């Protein structure tokens, strides 16, 4: 097995993730979030690397022949390349839906105006492992997108963002302001 570097195991995360929130504030976009349930298990298995072939011993209490091992069929928490498997699965889905990545931001996808959802407004979706932020001018478009997204991926619609990645989000839409406050 070849050694695994960060290119084979990592999932892109936003370097300037606050920038997208500031854009939502400035443009007065709807800003919602969804959380994927047991996200790595929903990912497609990678063809190579650590997720290519992983074997485990039977769980404690299961009586098997001493030579029996189980092959892991889905990416799991704790396997180094599971985050990359999830990213590649999400990336394929977003591209199939007509999204493109936002410049150098590999974890931000944009569907420009004219997309397939009601009102055909621009959608911006930012993903940090299993936490997603979704921004759009139209609440109707955003709800249609979230419904389709959560039909394909099991998760929870968390509605309008009030917390994200352990920070409280305070939004003053009238003044186009978003404040992040880390809880103590």
Q: What is the pLDDT of residues 45-76, one digit of tens each?
A: 877 655 567 788 888 888 878 788 888 888 88
Q: Which of 5-19, 25-39, 77-91, 167-181 has the lowest mean pLDDT?
A: 5-19
pLDDT winner (highest mean) among 16-30, 62-76, 146-160, 164-178: 146-160
The model's confidence at residue 153, banded by pLDDT at 50, 70 and 90, is very high
**Count helices and strands in the chain by DSSP H and E runs:** 4, 11
**What number of other Cβ atoms are within 10 A of residue 13's Cβ?**
16
- Tokens 């420009």 -> residue: 112
- CA 124, 37, 171, 12 dihedral sign is negative
Name the percent of the chain lying above pLDDT 90: 25
- CA 78, 79, 80, 86 dihedral sign is negative
**What number of other Cβ atoms are within 10 A of residue 122's Cβ?**
17
- Whole-structure pTM value: 0.77
On the CB side of 109, how many CA atoms lie within 13 Å of its CA?
Answer: 21
Higher pLDDT, 152 or 72: 152
CA distance linking residue 161 with residue 181, whole number of Å: 13
Higher pLDDT, 165 or 141: 141
pLDDT in tens, 17-55: 445 555 666 678 899 999 999 998 898 887 765 556 778
**What number of other Cβ atoms are within 10 A of residue 92's Cβ?**
11
């Amino acid at each position: 097995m070849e050694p695994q570097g960060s290119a084979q195991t990592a999932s892109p995360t936003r370097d300037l993730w606050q920038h997208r929130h500031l854009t939502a504030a400035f443009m007065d976009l709807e800003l919602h979030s969804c959380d994927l349930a047991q996200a790595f298990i929903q990912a497609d298995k990678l063809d190579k690397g650590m997720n290519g072939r992983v074997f485990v011993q039977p769980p404690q209490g299961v009586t098997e022949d001493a030579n029996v091992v189980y092959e892991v069929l889905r990416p799991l928490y704790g396997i180094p390349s599971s985050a990359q498997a999830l990213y590649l699965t999400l990336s394929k889905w977003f591209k199939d839906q007509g999204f493109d990545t936002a410049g150098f931001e590999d974890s931000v996808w944009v569907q420009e105006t004219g997309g397939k959802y009601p009102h055909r407004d621009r959608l911006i979706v930012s993903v940090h492992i299993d936490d997603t932020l979704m921004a759009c001018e139209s609440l109707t478009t955003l709800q249609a997108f979230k419904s389709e997204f959560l039909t394909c991926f099991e998760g929870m619609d968390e509605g309008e963002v009030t917390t994200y990645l352990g920070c409280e989000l305070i939004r003053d839409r009238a003044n186009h302001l978003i404040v992040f406050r880390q809880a103590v």
